Amino acid sequence: MASWNSVRLTAGCPTQLPDTEGVMHRRKFCLTAAGVLAIRPLSGKSPSVTLPVKAKERRKYYRGPAGGDLALVRHSEGIFYRWPDGTELYGGSPVVDGEPAPLRRLHYRNDQKGRFYEVDLRNKLAYLREKYKPYRVTFGRPPKDWEFDRKTVNGVVCYGKPVIGHEARPGGPVPMDVTGVAWISEAHNFLVRMEYEVHKPKLWSKEVIERYDIEVGVDPPREILDDVLTFTFIEDITDAPPFVRDPY
């Protein structure tokens, strides 16, 4: 039986690398050039009921010169919602003067249809970003050969895996100097916290992504999902603009 060897972090095109092997399915972490994190199993065999999850999401990005101190460059606060059918909405907005700005963009994932969208809340548009084989989330025990001890992170029992990185280039993926750990819910298969560093010749950076105030088994408010489902869905990936990060 395959087990997770690592968590793969990809800067650039999220489809240019083979997937990381999983216990009952294959998963990957992808970090696009715009900083969007996508985590999903790519295939599953035995259907299972998905417990809803309601949580807050925080992302902090730091950058500094090689060998120097890091400075906070971006800070966003938002939501992570998962409904019983496995549908997810997640994302955040920049924190300005101590307060998060109104949400403008979210990420919508529908595993039953095999679709991942970027949602423009202001213009009521949803752009298709990726197609994949539909599946139902399959829960199972984590691999026995995990590289980090099980521990409780933000109130959720997790197991950890190292983060590795590649950067998409025209000639093919190029390894990045990345170190970090991703902590995944042992029972419910969602990212709880990931912290990683990227080192380059002239600069280095660190990003921390975490879900907190996590309530497993609690239905998120349905109104926001119902509203998104009324948007115009752009199904042609070639018509979608690049991933956009709000300026701040």
Q: What is the pLDDT of residues 178-230, one digit of tens each?
A: 888 889 888 888 899 999 999 988 999 999 999 999 999 999 999 999 999 99
- Greater model confidence, 5 or 21: 5
Q: Which of 43, 45, 225 is nearest to 134 (CA)?
A: 43
Is pLDDT of 32 > 80?
Answer: no
Q: What confidence tier does 147 reach under pLDDT thresholds 50, 70, 90? A: low
| Distant-in-sequence, close-in-space partners of 96: CB < 8 Å, separation ≥ 6 | 248
Write down the pLDDT at residue 6. Answer: 47
Task: List the end-to-end C-alpha distance of the chain, in Å, as a whole number.
Answer: 46
Write down the pLDDT at residue 248. Answer: 29
Q: Which of 200, 117, 201 is nearest to 165 (CA)?
A: 200
| CATH architecture under which domain 46-158+184-236 falls | Clam (2.50)
Choose the most confident range, by mean pLDDT, from 36-40, 41-45, 56-60.
Answer: 56-60
Write down the pLDDT at residue 57. Answer: 97
Overall average pLDDT of the 70-95 stretch: 93
Write down the pTM of the prediction: 0.75
